[in-house]
């Protein structure tokens, strides 16, 4: 039988052989060149194959493999949403109003803490960390969780999170399972970081890594962007990809198997976070909320936190850019901002709610970004201004679906100082300073005087391993019988 270029001659499983320029070539892909071309052209994306003739066998195989895993139906939806978005950003949604927020008063805190502790002791609480982001503003070469942040030890961000999980497990005589979302870009490096640090003392069987999905990007004409002749540009599908990734990876089943009912969710960049704070858990359970959100007063009207609002009778979260200037700057009689409370992505979810939500189609958010692309000469171009559109899902789009949402206000000085930027606000420098200030307040609380600078900030670097002490009360216990640390040198209290 005569064969021509592109003819499929064998095609079982993940391997396909076909005739290419008179040679029989085998590609470890489910897709032939012809199938790829047909599918792409049907979606007006035929340009993806424009370098085909210049690719070697491996590159061709890689490209076909990538195309075979691409959801072209989704690409079609992205393209049509982008078209609408570029035409008009107007919204017909009702005016938002600030959502109700409760503060954890001292008398309720004690009872709520007891309730939260009993859930922890019963092994009903799991911890979920999203760490799949690219950390582009920080510009660190590696997963953000591997960034050294310890003010004395240079311990990495993952260390502080993992040691808190370990400390909770010990305090409540249980195993708190730790679910960590990574992405294709940082999964191997994240796992290697845990291996290198001997899992920070955790039992590896209680750590569950799972990878989020990757999405392509489009140019202004809705065309897929190639970042190399044989590769489409792909980036993580946003923290809103958490639930679908948890479902496909078996993470949700694992949670069920372990008998969990409440999941504490947080982000990798904030080492001040009170992981699975018992008082927060207790409030959430008392109120029978399906989703709870820790919120704090905004630093200033322009701070870019998501805002919890009430709209059409439901609680939802909007990006701060969705508020008009007038809404952002509006104040109440007591001087506080009318839209005062922002979310720092610390949540509690009921597992039943997560399971219900896992198959819900999430809205796509579009952002105009600088995306490396492949020029006509096949070389990669790094643009200096936005040239394409990325699509992301946001975790907070689950909010309006919850039967009950509870917003709990907390004091940001104690719980929030993220590492977002390389310099300036929300940078490693401000974060280390806030960590030291927090631990300095613990010393104050137990009556140990630290040397202070003129501004009242501790004059020496301090660091406390969360497994050594998770609260001021534990710090007092630990220091009661032992020798006091030398307060004229950097203080590093750690479990030996
Ligand atoms: P950010 O929105 O701060 O994004 O993520 P980022 O990727 O860390 O940093 P930039 O914007 O590129 O500078 C908030 C949290 O959500 C996680 C991040 O890892 C971080 O913990 N995240 C974000 C994901 O897990 N996946 C994503 O696709 C995006």
135 lines ligand 1 (CB under 6 A): yes
| Tokens read off for 336 | 């506080």
Give me ligand 1 centre to Cα 378, in Å.
30
Whole-number pLDDT of residue 481: 81
pLDDT tens track of the chain, all 496 residues?
A: 443 433 443 333 334 444 443 444 454 457 899 999 999 999 999 999 999 999 999 999 999 999 999 999 999 999 999 999 888 765 567 889 999 999 988 788 999 999 999 999 999 999 999 999 999 999 999 999 999 999 999 999 999 999 999 999 999 999 999 999 999 999 999 999 999 999 999 999 999 999 999 999 999 999 999 999 999 999 999 999 999 999 999 999 999 999 999 999 999 999 999 999 999 999 999 999 999 999 999 999 999 999 999 998 889 999 888 899 999 999 999 999 999 999 999 999 999 999 999 999 999 999 999 999 999 999 999 999 999 999 999 999 999 999 999 999 999 999 999 999 999 999 999 999 999 999 999 999 999 999 999 999 999 999 999 999 999 999 999 999 878 899 999 999 999 8
282 vs 122: CA distance, rounded Å: 13
Ligand 1, atom 20, lies closest to the CA of 267
Pocket mutation for ligand 1, best pick of 132, 133, 189 (most atoms within 8 Å of C-beta): 133
In angstroms, the Cα distances linking 341 to 97, 317, 400 are 12, 11, 17
Candidates 335, 314, 283; CA nearest to 399 is: 314
Whole-number pLDDT of residue 8: 43
Length, in residues, of the chain: 496
Q: For 358, phi and psi rounded to 5 degrees? A: -60, -30
DSSP state of 224: B
Q: What share of the chain is helix, strand, coil (3-state, %, to 5)?
A: 35, 25, 40
Cβ–Cβ < 8 Å for 260, 126: yes
Q: Which domains are seen in the chain, by residue range?
A: 4-87 (no CATH), 97-423 (3.90.550.10), 427-496 (no CATH)
Q: Return the number of other C-beta atoms located less than 10 Å from residue 490's C-beta.
A: 15
Whole-number pLDDT of residue 91: 58
End-to-end CA gap in the chain: 74
Residues forming beta bridges with residue 380, ordered by sequence position? 374
176 lines ligand 1 (CB under 6 A): no
Whole-number pLDDT of residue 22: 42
Residue 381's Cβ-count burial label (10 Å; 0-12, 13-18, 19+) is middle
Ligand 1, atom 15, lies closest to the CA of 267
Cβ–Cβ < 8 Å for 339, 328: yes
Coil, strand or helix at 16: strand
Q: Which residue has the tokens 């199938």?
A: 35
Give me ligand 1 centre to Cα 56, in Å.
35
Record the pTM.
0.92
Give me ligand 1 centre to Cα 124, in Å.
27
Ligand 1, atom 25, lies closest to the CA of 132
78 vs 72: CA distance, rounded Å: 10
Strands annotated E in 250-404: 262-267, 291-297, 306-311, 314-318, 341-350, 365-369, 373-374, 380-381, 388-392
Whole-number pLDDT of residue 104: 82
418 lines ligand 1 (CB under 6 A): no
């Amino acid at each position: 039988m005569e064969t021509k270029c592109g003819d499929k001659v064998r095609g079982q499983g993940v391997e396909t052989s076909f005739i290419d320029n008179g040679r029989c070539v085998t590609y470890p892909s489910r897709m032939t060149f012809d199938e790829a071309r047909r599918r792409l052209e049907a979606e007006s994306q035929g340009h993806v194959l424009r370098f085909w003739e210049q690719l070697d066998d491996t590159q061709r195989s890689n490209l076909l493999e990538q195309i075979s895993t691409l959801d072209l139906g989704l690409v079609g939806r992205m393209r049509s949403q982008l078209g609408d978005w570029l035409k008009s950003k107007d919204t017909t949604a009702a005016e938002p109003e600030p959502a109700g927020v409760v503060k954890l008063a001292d008398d309720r805190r004690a009872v709520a803490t007891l309730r939260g502790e009993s859930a922890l002791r019963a092994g009903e609480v799991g911890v979920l960390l999203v760490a799949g982001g690219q950390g582009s503003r920080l510009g660190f070469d590696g997963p953000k969780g591997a960034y050294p942040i310890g003010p004395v030890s240079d311990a990495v961000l993952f260390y502080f999170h993992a040691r808190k999980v370990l400390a909770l497990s010990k305090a409540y005589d249980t195993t708190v399972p730790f679910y960590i979302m990574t992405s294709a870009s940082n999964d191997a490096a994240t796992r290697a970081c845990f291996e290198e640090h001997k899992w920070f003392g955790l039992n590896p069987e209680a750590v569950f890594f799972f990878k989020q999905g990757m999405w392509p990007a489009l140019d202004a004409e809705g065309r897929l962007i190639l970042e190399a002749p044989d590769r489409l540009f792909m980036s993580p599908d946003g923290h809103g990809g958490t639930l679908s990734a948890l479902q496909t990876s078996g993470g949700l089943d694992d949670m069920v198997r372990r008998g969990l009912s409440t999941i504490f969710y947080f982000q990798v960049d904030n080492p001040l976070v009170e992981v699975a704070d018992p008082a927060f858990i207790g409030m959430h359970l008392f109120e029978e909320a399906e989703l709870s959100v820790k919120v704090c007063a905004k630093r200033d009207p322009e701070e870019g936190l998501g805002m919890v609002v009430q709209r059409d009778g439901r609680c939802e979260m909007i990006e701060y850019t969705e508020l008009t200037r007038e809404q952002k700057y509006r104040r109440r009689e007591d001087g506080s901002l009318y839209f005062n409370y922002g979310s720092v992505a610390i949540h509690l979810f009921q597992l039943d709610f997560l399971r219900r939500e896992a198959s819900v189609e999430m809205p796509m958010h579009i952002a105009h970004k600088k995306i490396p692309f492949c020029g006509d000469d096949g070389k990669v171009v790094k643009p200096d201004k936005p040239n394409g559109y990325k699509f992301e899902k946001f975790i907070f789009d689950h909010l309006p679906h919850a039967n009950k949402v509870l917003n709990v206000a907390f004091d940001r000085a104690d719980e929030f100082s993220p590492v977002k930027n390389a310099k300036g606000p929300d940078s490693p420098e401000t974060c280390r300073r806030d960590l030291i200030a927090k631990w300095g307040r613990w010393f104050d609380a137990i009556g140990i005087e630290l040397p202070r600078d003129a501004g009242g900030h501790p004059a020496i670097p301090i660091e406390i391993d969360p497994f050594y002490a998770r609260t001021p009360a534990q710090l007092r216990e630990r220091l009661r019988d032992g020798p006091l640390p030398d307060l004229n040198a950097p203080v590093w209290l750690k479990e030996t």
